Amino acid sequence: MEQHTHKRLYSAHAWVGIISGILLFIVTFSGIPALFDHEIEYWQYPGYSEQHRSEVKQQPFNLERTLQASKDLGFQHDNFFIQPANEINNHVILAHFEKGKEPDIRYLNASSYQQFNASPSELNHLLAHLHTDLHLPNPWGRYLVGLSGMAMLLAIIAGIFIHIKWRKEFVMLRPKRSWRLLLTDQHKLLGLWSLPFTFILAFTGTILGLLGLISPILALAAFNGDVEKATVAVLGPTAEVTGEYSPVYPLNKLSERLTIDLPDTSVEFIQVSGLNIIAQEDTNTVSAKEEKELVTDIGGIIKFSGYHNNKLSNLETVTYSLSTGERIHQGSFIGKGAFQRIFAAVTPLHYVLFGNTWLKVFYALSALAACGLILTGNMLWLHRRGHGAQHWLSKSTLGICGGLVVATSITFAASQISYAFKFSTESGLHHLSEEVVFWSSWGLMILAPYFIKDSFKLSHYFLRLTSLGLIFTLIADGLFNQRWIGITQGWVLNIQMGILFSALLFIYLDWKLPNSIKPKSK
Amino acid sequence: MSLINRIFENNISKNIAATLGAFITTISLTVCITLLWPFGDVVEQIFAGATFFFVFWASLFYWAILAENGAWAWIRMLIILLPALAVITISFLLKSQTQ
């Protein structure tokens, strides 16, 4: 490679990294809890794990019983989603979303079909929403996340070309030389070892973030700008309301047909559109009120979506008519063209919707390595230009990036401590306390570098606070929910072990981080 | 004249070509690919366009960045953009005639 090409690529790598670095850290770090969204959700509310303790024997998912239960609960909506129990949860979720209104979400025990209280904690949503939308209005936050993914992709591409001595750099770490060499070696080591995963995460993240932006462009080309037509072509038909009603086709028969229409697929979502509940004509008597009948608009549909157990491009859907049971659409990427399969693999690749939990752990470690990559990149840029800890970028990097790590750990602890106050779900106070703790602690940490001038000392404080927060989380979980490590099992134990491992990792980092920059060795 | 040259040739111009110029060129190339992709059905065309979008964007970004100066970066973008726009116009004209 010519020297000027190398120089321009190097410069592009550095500037793209510096401009997007902090945002990229926020997206990457918050991606770790987002990766374990369902697992954290299950752990954060003891009510979910109690559904497993139900004395009623576990049974296969019963669609008709679910709808019967929803009818009894007064969950009356034309359009709604059902999420059956899965390998983590033993509950069924009924959800209805309407623009401008609070969503109506109900939780049923998957064995008894009895409603139970929803989680007062929304810790997982708080962190996952930061990863997907940065808590900004839709769709701008999503686009910003997509753009940060694109920046990561660009930095990776230039990074591959400028590191020509990569064989040597794979194993090179000189901890006893200068601070700058240590940073350089760490940056290259983290980058090289995590390269395949960071590349996959960046590419798939960019597509997920910017898909909304490019959809109109694609619709313009393929459907003369008709986005709805393009959506139907890709995702299948939507319900066409006619105003004429008929009895509902036996739903459990449809469920049985899934074994033929969606073989080897675990159904994750069921979308019901056009279903209605009508009362008998004589509505004055109590018995007539109870005898409500399920009917459907003759244009009503039911769509089952799930993940194929043995394929990477694993999104599978099948749509039936609610009135006749006729299969009206089958969406599968198996055996389709290469680009459809590539696109169908984007979400599974980004959120690890294939493989097992250990693969998720591996992804999480790679994301952690990417966080280290971003931090060492920013520090190198500052160090090479002779900027000290007082430079605004140095303070911002430490405050925003380090602060996010501390705020996440403190919020985990606050979420468990809030159970001591027994806030009801309806009051929303539990979630409010999580929000207040998260944003205020992050805000305080962002300001901290302006008061504590020694960045090494502050980094140690941050690492200690983070590990303390995680340890307090486990103690609070034991004290207020009687879930001490050792007596817990299943996913609760897995998450607790994850928290314990993270606490130990931050203690180790605190131990290894120097207290000041060593003078250059001769 | 020298002022115009200076505006086009400096680094800011090159960076704008690499970000904005590359983005606009990417959009036109994506539309081109979606219109002309010869394999599979219309859904395959859409996904081909969507996948190439990011490949084009990254490639064009670095093609502009690696140019000698801003003026060359813009020339490189226009070399791709103008034929792409011509193809799109012709395709839409042919499409409207057949409909």
Cβ contacts from A onto B, under 8 A: 85
**A115: helix, strand or coil:** strand
Residues of A in contact with B53 (CB under 8 A): 214, 217
Residues of B in contact with A336 (CB under 8 A): 40, 43-44
A12 touches chain B (CB under 8 A): yes
Confidence at residue A519, expressed as pLDDT on a 0 to 100 scale: 54
**Predicted confidence band of residue A278 (pLDDT cuts 50, 70, 90):** low
Q: Complex ipTM, two decimals? A: 0.88
**Cα–Cα distance for residue pair A133/A27, rounded to 1 Å:** 9
Q: Of the ranges A158-167, A267-276, A408-417, which one carries the lowest mean pLDDT score?
A: A158-167
Return the residue matching tokens 């105003």.
A243
Has this prediction a pTM greater than 0.80? yes
Q: Which of B26, B27, B46 to mutate to test the interface with A (most CBs of A within 10 A)?
A: B46
**Cα–Cα distance for residue pair A27/A41, rounded to 1 Å:** 19
**Cα–Cα distance for residue pair B62/A13, rounded to 1 Å:** 10
Range of the domain at B47: 2-98
- CB burial readout A80-90, b (16+ within 10 A) else e: bbbbbbbebbb
Radius of gyration in angstroms for the set of CA atoms belonging to chain A, rounded to a whole number? 26
Q: Beta partners for A105?
A: A95
**Cα–Cα distance for residue pair A88/A48, rounded to 1 Å:** 10
Residues of B in contact with A216 (CB under 8 A): none
Residues of A in contact with B57 (CB under 8 A): 150
| Residue A234 to residue B45, Cβ atoms within 8 A | no
A349 touches chain B (CB under 8 A): no
Q: Beta partners for A93?
A: A83, A107
Least Cα separation, residue A2 to chain B (angstroms): 11
pLDDT (mean) for A113-129: 93
pLDDT tens track for A459-503: 999 999 999 999 999 999 999 999 999 899 889 999 999 999 999
Q: What is the amino acid identity at position A158?
A: A
Helix axes A37-44, A123-133, angle to 10 degrees: 160
| Residue B66 to residue A5, Cβ atoms within 8 A | yes
Domain count, chain B: 1
Q: Of the ranges A105-119, A190-204, A266-280, which one carries the lowest mean pLDDT score?
A: A266-280
A207 touches chain B (CB under 8 A): yes
Least Cα separation, residue A151 to chain B (angstroms): 9
Least Cα separation, residue A104 to chain B (angstroms): 34
